[in-house]
Each structure stands twice: as C-alpha cells, then as structure tokens.
C-alpha cells in the first residue's frame, strides 16, 4: 500500500534490521525499542489491524512469534517476553499496518505499565453483562 511505512520496508524501499522472513511474514527490530531486542512481526500483505487481517496471515504471525521468542530466549536470556498488539488509534496504534510486538524483559528494566496493571476486582454484574453482549455479538 502506498504511503505505508511497513509496506515500504517489505518492498525494500526503506531498510530494516531483519531477524526473520517467510512467505507470509517479515520480522525486524523496532527502531524505537522499549528494550534491547524489541521486535515487530508484520504480514507481507497489507492489513490495517485485527479486524482486517486474513486468518492465514494471523496464524503465520503467531507461529513466527513462537520461533522468534525461542530464539530471543536463547540469544538474550530475558526474564520474560511481552507480546503486544494495538488496534486502532483509540488503542494508540501509530503505524496502520498490522504488527505484533515482542518485547524481551530483563530484571531491573522499567515496568511496562500495560503489563503491570493493578488487580482491582470489578463489578461482577457489569462484567457478566459485558460478557453477554460480546457473546451475543459473536452469534450475530
Ligand atoms: P504502534 O503502532 O504504536 O503499535 O507502534 C508502531 C511501532 O513501529 C513503534 O514502536 C515504532 O517505533 C515502530 N516503527 C515505526 N517506524 C519504524 C521503522 N521504520 N522501522 C522499525 N520500527 C518502526
Ligand atoms: Zn502496509
């Protein structure tokens, strides 16, 4: 897609630090890394987000994430790996080409707020109502 920075990386118009590639996906280092080894996995066919991406590409990304996470564990010995994927501007998605973040975590590194939320019990009635709404929408 024209004017998509990640499509330009796939087409070789913009360089990247590639770590993995197969028929459907490309994985490369984030140039504003939250932590050393912060890697993005993207589909080669442009899709904006989870609402659009075809099942086959989504599956390929998750299979690649497993391979890359294992390689990260070997290469970087992290204490854990956070997986993160944002959909839509409301969720702070900045690049509108689907991408799956793998962020290696290390002892003493600053917390990622999204991975360290406070556990406060919700309103069970509200939780039940919301669950029913989503479940009903699945059957629409
Ligand atoms: P977000 O859309 O918020 O999930 O994040 C977009 C991510 O893409 C950010 O972490 C950016 O640092 C990263 N990014 C943007 N442009 C490039 C690029 N040319 N190469 C590598 N990473 C990039
Ligand atoms: Zn694109």
CA distance 46 to 135: 29
Q: Which of 38, 46, 62, 99 is the catalytic position?
A: 99
Cα(93) to ligand 2 centroid in Å equals 13
| 116 Cβ contact list (under 8 Å, min separation 6) | none
Residues with CB under 6 A from ligand 1: 5, 14, 16, 30-32, 40, 86, 92-95, 99
Q: Which residues pair with 41 in a beta bridge?
A: 27, 100
Count of structural domains within the chain: 1
- Condensed to tens digits (0 to 9), the pLDDT of residues 116-125 reads 889 999 999 9
List of the chain residues with pLDDT < 50: none
For the domain that residue 20 is a member of, what is the CATH number? 3.30.428.10
Give the 3-state DSSP-derived string for the chain, with helices as H, strands as E and coil as C: CCCCHHHHHHCCCCCCCEEEECCCEEEEECCCCCCCCCEEEEECCCCCCCCCCCHHHHHHHHHHHHHHHHHHHHHHCCCEEEEECCCCHHHCCCCCCCCEEEEEECCCCCCCHHHCCCCCCCCHHHHHHHHHHHHHHHCC
Rounded distance from Cα 97 to ligand 2 centre (Å): 5
Nearest CA to ligand 1 atom 5: 94
**pTM for the whole thing?**
0.95
Domain span holding position 35: 5-138
Which residue from 95, 97, 101, 103 has its CB within 8 A of the most atoms of ligand 1, so it is best to mutate? Answer: 95
pLDDT in tens, 55-72: 999 999 999 999 999 999
Ligand 1: centre distance to CA 116 (Å) = 22
Q: Has 97 been annotated as catalytic?
A: no
Task: Look at residue 1 in the predicted model and tell me its pLDDT.
Answer: 85
State how far the Cα of 30 lies from the Cα of 16, in Å rounded to an integer. Answer: 9
């Amino acid at each position: 897609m024209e004017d998509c920075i990640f499509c330009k990386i796939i087409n070789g118009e913009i360089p990247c630090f590639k770590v993995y590639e197969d028929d459907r996906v490309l994985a490369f280092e984030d140039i504003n890394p939250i932590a050393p080894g912060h890697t993005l996995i993207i589909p080669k066919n442009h899709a904006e987000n989870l609402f659009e991406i075809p099942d086959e590409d989504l599956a390929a990304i998750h299979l690649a994430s497993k391979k890359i996470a294992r390689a990260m564990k070997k290469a970087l010995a992290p204490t854990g790996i956070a997986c993160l994927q944002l959909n839509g501007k409301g969720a702070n998605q900045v690049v509108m080409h689907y991408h799956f973040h793998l962020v290696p975590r290390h002892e003493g590194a600053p917390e990622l707020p999204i991975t360290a939320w406070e556990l406060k019990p919700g309103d069970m009635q509200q939780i039940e109502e919301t669950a029913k709404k989503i479940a009903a929408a699945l059957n629409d």
